Amino acid sequence: MSTPLNVTQKLIKSHLVDGEMKPGEEIGLKIDQTLTQDATGTMVMLELEAMELEEAQTELSCQYVDHNLIQTDFKNPDDHVFLKSAAEHFGMWFSRPGNGVSHPIETERFAIPGKTLAGSDSHTPASGCMGMLAIGAGGLDVAFAIAGEPMYMKMPKVLGVELKGELPDWVSAKDVVLEMLRRYDVDGATGYVIEYFGEGLHNLSTMDRHVIANMGTEMGATSTVFPADGEVRRFMESQQRGHDFVELKADEGAEYDKYEELVLNDVEPLIALPSSPGNVVPVREVEGQDIYQSYIGSSANPGYRDFWIASEIVKGKTVNDNVSYDINPTSRQIIENMVKNDVMFNLVQSGARIHQAGCNGCIGMGQAPASGQNSLRTVPRNFPDRSGTPEDSVFLVSPETAAASALTGKITDPRDLEELYNMKYPRFEEPEALVVNTEMLTEPKPKNKRGEIKKGPNISTMPDFDELQDFEVPVLLKMGDDISTDEILRAGAEVLPYRSNIPEISKFTLDVVDKNFHDRAMRAKQEHGGHVVVAGENYAQGSSREHAAIAPRYLGMRAVIAKSYARIGWQNLINFGIPPLEFEHDADYEDIDQGDVLEVNDIRSAIKNGHEVVIHNKTKGKKYTVKHTFSERQKEAVLYGGVINRFKANKQNGRG
């Protein structure tokens, strides 16, 4: 008799092409669909071009333009033209600027239960709400998936979260995932897929589940998975895609590597304090603080219901005159439904500021808050400076808390609206007929009608990187725990237009931590042949953007030495030939100071043979041993100086 399987195990088993389903072992998965967005997709398209790919080998691949929508000069619109031409060239779908955020559109239009999705965006797991295995990855991993190669990863464990009961009034799905973050912080689910199950699911819509799946990433999870049940069928039918529904549930008696119980009745309005998604407390603990901004939208709260509840709360009222009430619709389809059902009218009449459909302020593309002022946002992240304002003060909240606070001008527990405004909790019901808009999605063209790739002057080629070699270089920077990719290479309107120009974007490397890092790195590259950086736990958490590995590599980074790494950041370092080395003893981390000169000899032999790497601290006259956990495939990539070098070498040798 076969062993009962949970949903995650079923998805992995049905797509396994390499390795064994043993936690921690490297596995290769067949990828059915891919998602790329414009902040990361430019590099993916350049990588596909370098690989001389003729046509996408997946069942479906879509290139979205949702991040870099501000057009202050030629750079962003040139990239939009480039991406459209590249998507056409490779036989991919294209989502036009203004169509909206990739994740909810992917869920509405393309997600199918039982399929796998790889996306060059860390919030790709949002489509796990549909019974998919959706995985965020660096662009190069997604490029290989588009080319038909398996996606490699460590076999995850499965954290089973049993949901019981139903949510109280004034509490919604954002509070559920904030409760999980309160329990697990930003790295407590590392190495796990989070799988939700239980009778409490009956009280969560598909887009509620999207909210929860989206922010599993903030706990370090490989992905988040929900079953495909009757609610998913209803959602797909509302999107005119009922024919694609496939039921997918855990077998009776299925087990999990770790179990968590979450009683929905006990969840209260929660808030993540600056500047970490894991810094969660009840709203009651911080209520009364003045706010400057209240922001509704993003991939973390993208559903029609999220905008509807925000509009019902402010209906017939005017928001506080000290508050910028920013409404960030997530898709053109959502906007049409908001207009049709007076949601937009209520918001505009209340004094809200309406922005175009896209990521916008979530990625620092507009809507930056004023200096020294509090901003409440329904976005998934509040890492330092991510909003576009240095030393920002961003809180993560539900739409209910954001809307209530917009009215009062202070952080407000939404339950207080019952007394303050004699308001009953608005009960949401799905509209009888949703507007479905597919007009801004361009289908792949037949081969004989595809054109050439168009490149503007800001688009450069991938730099060439050398093979791994011994080094004697300074520690250019020593950092603490939870350094995010937003700190390694920030997003925002100033930086992201250079995403296809590595020499230019490298000038912003680690400038959130050290404004002089670029200049110091260039000097170290000239005088010493490069540098290393040292960090604590969970280095490179957050976004999947591989620029956080490419730009430091361009500046001469020879290695990172940290206590531990976030999954995608760790893989991106390997992909571009930067060995992510790990301290064996916390005391060694404490002993190394910024400015120390570190020497490593025979590093190629150590990595090739799986041995520890010996580091000589020439400044202090000490030695340390550090470890690495590379698969044979990853060892080869690191030794070659990156996956692209490895791919070219194998092609020359007739190995693919």
Report the C-alpha gap between 538 and 562 in whole angstroms.
8
CA 522, CA 510: separation in Å to the nearest integer? 13
Q: What local confidence, expressed as pLDDT, does residue 106 receive?
A: 97
pLDDT > 70: what percent of the chain?
99
Tokens of 271: 């808030």
Closest CA to 18 of 168, 152, 193: 152
Q: Is 178 helix (H, G, I), strand (E, B) or coil?
A: helix
Residue 152, phi-psi category: left (phi > 0), alpha (psi -120 to 50), beta (remainder): beta
List, in order, residues 6 or more apart from 624 with CB less than 8 Å away.
Answer: 583, 584, 585, 588, 591, 592, 614, 615, 617
pLDDT band at 494 (very low <50, low <70, confident <90, very high): confident
Inform me whether the pLDDT recorded for 362 exceeds 90: no
Contact, 43 vs 500, CB < 8 A?
yes
d(CA 504, CA 354): 32
Kindly tell me if the per-residue pLDDT of 460 is higher than 60. Answer: yes
Distances (CA, A) of 593 to 517, 555, 582, 597, 602: 16, 20, 16, 9, 23
Q: Quickly count: other Cβ atoms within 10 Å of residue 516's Cβ.
A: 10
Whether the upstream peptide bond of residue 298 has omega within 30° of 0, thus cis, is no
Residue 413 and residue 286: Cα distance in Å, rounded? 9
Task: Please say if the pLDDT value at position 656 is more than 60.
Answer: no
Rounded Cα–Cα distance for residues 404 and 176 (Å): 18
Burial of residue 447, with CB atoms counted within 10 A of its CB: 0-12 exposed, 13-18 middle, 19 or more buried: exposed
Q: 515: which residues sit within 8 A by CB, 6+ positions away?
A: none
- Residue 416 CB neighbours (<10 A): 17
Say if residue 633 is exposed, middle or buried (CB neighbours under 10 Å; 0-12, 13-18, 19+): middle
Helix (H, G, I), strand (E, B) or coil at 31: coil
155 token code pair: 């076999």
Dmax over CA atoms of the chain, in Å, equals 75
Please give the average per-residue pLDDT across 130-156, as a whole number: 95
Report the b/e string of 591-617 with b at 16+ CB within 10 A: ebeeebebebeebeebbbeeeebebbb
d(CA 162, CA 227): 12
pLDDT value, residue 258: 98
Q: What pLDDT was estimated at residue 360? A: 87
pLDDT at 235 (0 to 100):
96
**Tens-digit pLDDT profile for residues 277-328:** 999 999 999 999 999 999 999 999 999 999 999 999 999 999 999 999 999 9
Which is more confident, 492 or 534? 534
Confidence class for position 612, pLDDT limits 50, 70, 90: very high
Please report which residue ranges of 502-602 form alpha helices under DSSP H.
502-505, 517-528, 547-554, 567-575, 586-591
Percentage of the residues of the chain whose pLDDT score is greater than 90: 84
Going from the N-terminus, what domains does the chain have, and what CATH number goes with each? Answer: 7-266 (3.30.499.10), 270-420 (3.30.499.10), 471-652 (3.20.19.10)
Nearest CA to 335 out of 367, 314, 316, 311 is that of 311
Would the pTM count as exceeding 0.75? Answer: yes
What is the average pLDDT across 625-651?
Answer: 90
CB-CB contact of 138 with 546 (8 Å): yes
The whole-angstrom separation of Cα 32 and Cα 553 is 31
Q: How many C-alpha atoms does 181 have within 13 Å on its Cβ side?
A: 32
Binned at pLDDT 50, 70 and 90, residue 367 comes out as: confident
Q: Residue 654: which pLDDT band, with cuts at 50, 70 and 90? A: low
| Per-residue pLDDT at 463 | 84
Query: Looking at the chain, how many residues does it have?
Result: 656
CA nearest to 607, candidates 569, 645, 577, 636: 636
Amino acid making up residue 409: G
- Work out the mean pLDDT of the chain and round it to a whole number: 94
Distances (CA, A) of 1 to 4, 6, 7, 159, 288: 9, 16, 18, 24, 59
Summarize pLDDT for 228-278 with one digit per residue, the tens.
999 999 999 999 999 999 999 999 999 999 999 999 999 999 999 999 999
pLDDT at 308: 98
pLDDT of amino acid 655: 58
Beta bridge partner(s), residue 471:
600
Structure tokens that stand for 567 in this block: 């999954």
What is the Cα gyration radius of the chain? 24
DSSP letter at 243 equals: G
